[in-house]
Amino acid sequence: MKVIAFLGSPRKDGNTELLLKEAIKGIEASGSPSGSEVFNLNLMKISPCQDCGGCDETGKCIVEDEMSQIYNAIRTADRIILASPIFFFGLSAQTKIMIDRCQAFWCEKYLLKKPIPEGRYGRKGLLLLVGGMEKDTGIKCPEATAKAFFRTISVPEHKTLSVLGVDAKGSILKHPTALKDAYEAGRELVRI
C-alpha cells in the first residue's frame, strides 16, 4: 500500500508538521508495507497554475517543474494525506498552489473521462488542519477545497482531523488529544 502526504506548512517543525508526523507514526505502527512519502510543499519549486488551457485536451500539465513528482505520486498512491495550517480561513498558499496545479487531473477526469484508477486497495484520504482560532467555522472553507481536491484525484472518501486553538510553534504538544488523535487517524487510514 502506497501512502503519500503533502505538508503545506511554511513553518519547519511547526504544529502541522508535528501532527502529520504523528499520523505517519500511526501508519507505520499498523505495519503498512510500503511506508510513506512526504512532500514538503514549502521546499518544492512549484509554479502556480496559469489557467493556460494546456491540460484541457491531454490531462497533462505543460509546466515543467517539481510538480511532476507529485503527479506521478498521486497516480500511484492508495492513501493520501493533506496537512495544512489554516490561514485566513483557507489552506496555506503552498497547499493551494499544489491543489490548483491538479487542474490537469480535473481535465483528465471530467473532460477526457479518464479518472485515476482505484488500485488494489482503493483510495482514501486524510485531511489534517491546524488553526489558531478556536471557532470551528474556520475549517469550512479549507474542508470544501480539500473535498474538491480529493474528488478530483479520485479519492471518494476522506476523514478530517482539525485541531484548533493552537497557534504558537509547538503549542500542539500541549493539546490534550491532538497527537493521539492523529496517530489513530493514521492507523485508521491504512486499515483495509
Tell me which residue range forms the domain holding 118: 3-189
Q: What is the pTM of this model?
A: 0.95
Residues 34, 2 contacting (CB under 8 angstroms): yes
pLDDT tens-digit series, residues 81-123? 999 999 999 999 999 999 999 999 999 999 999 999 988 899 9
- What CATH number should be reported for the domain holding residue 169? 3.40.50.360
CA–CA separation, 41 and 61 (whole Å): 18
Q: How many domains does the chain divide into?
A: 1
CA–CA separation, 87 and 85 (whole Å): 6
Q: Which of 39-48, 131-140, 162-171 has the lowest mean pLDDT?
A: 131-140
pLDDT tens-digit series, residues 136-188? 888 999 999 999 999 999 999 999 999 999 999 999 999 999 999 999 999 99
C-alpha cell at 117: 484508477
